[in-house]
Structure formats: structure tokens, C-alpha cells
Amino acid sequence: MAFTEEYLPYLLARASHSVSSSFHASLRQWDLSVAEWRVLACLTDVDGLGVGQLADMALMKQPSMTKVLDRMEADGLVRRKATEEDRRRVLIHLTPRGRARVKPVLAAALAHQRERLAPFDEAERALILRALHLLIGEG
């Protein structure tokens, strides 16, 4: 068997590209870049994240994240807010406008996920998600 048919990093990268490319192309209809989508998605279920933590979650380097956040804050999608404990520490929060903007995209993302996982039965879907969480170190 060829090396690339069994090499985990290569297979994960191919799978990620295969699964995400069509959805990422559809982001244009909501006037969102992939980076903006990732930021909005990461902030959906939490009330504020630090810039470094958000950059890690959104798969970006911190300087790039700062530029994306500047644009998104200017568009009213996110806001920076100092924490009560340490006024120098800033957390990024979704604004009501950001929540409204991401809501239809989240629904489309879940529909896309259902479509991509449709060939698998429920146990296989659960196993795929569990294996990915374990690989990420969240297991």
C-alpha cells in the first residue's frame, strides 16, 4: 500500500479539505471569509475567548487573528472587552449582530455535516467524532 494511503497527517489533511472546501465556498453567500466564519463559530457557545485561545481554535496565527478581529469589530460582529479580574486581559465576544449573522451559517454547516456523514450509520458517526476528539486531545 502507498505511504499516503496510510499516513495519518496526510489522510486527515485530505479529509479536511474534502469535507470543508464545498462549505467554505458557500460562505460567500453570507459575505464571510473562512477566517470570519471560524471566529463566529468558535464564539457561538462561549461568552468570550482570549485572542490566543480564539486563534488556536480558529486555526490561525495570532497576528492574523488580530487583523481579522479588527475588521469584524469594525463591522459590529464582535467586541473586545477587558476582564474584571485583569483590565489588561481582553476577551472577544459576539455582538447581537454577530449572533444574527452566524445563525443561518450554523444551520447550513450542520446540514452540510449531516450530508457528509450520511453514508455512515449512527455508531460510525459517533466513532468518527470521538476519534477526532481523541486525536485533538479533547478525549
Helix, strand, coil percentages for the chain (3-state, nearest 5):
65, 10, 25
Which position has the higher pLDDT, 1 or 129?
A: 129
For residue 88, the domain's CATH number is 1.10.10.10
Geometric angle at alpha carbon 18, from 15 and 23, rounded to 5°: 125
| pLDDT of res. 87 | 67
- Grouping H, G, I as helix, E, B as strand and the rest as coil, residue 63 is helix
How many angstroms separate the Cα of 120 from the Cα of each of 10, 87, 98, 104, 133? Answer: 22, 48, 33, 25, 18
pLDDT in tens, 64-109: 999 999 999 999 999 999 877 766 789 999 999 999 999 999 999 9
pLDDT of residue 126: 96
Mean residue pLDDT across the chain:
94
Give the C-alpha separation, 63 to 65, whole Å.
5
Longest dimension (CA), the chain: 57
Residue 139 has pLDDT above 80, yes or no: no
Number of domains in the chain: 1
- Please give the C-alpha separations between residue 136 and each of 56, 57, 131, in angstroms, as whole numbers: 12, 11, 9
Its domain, for residue 126, covers 3-136
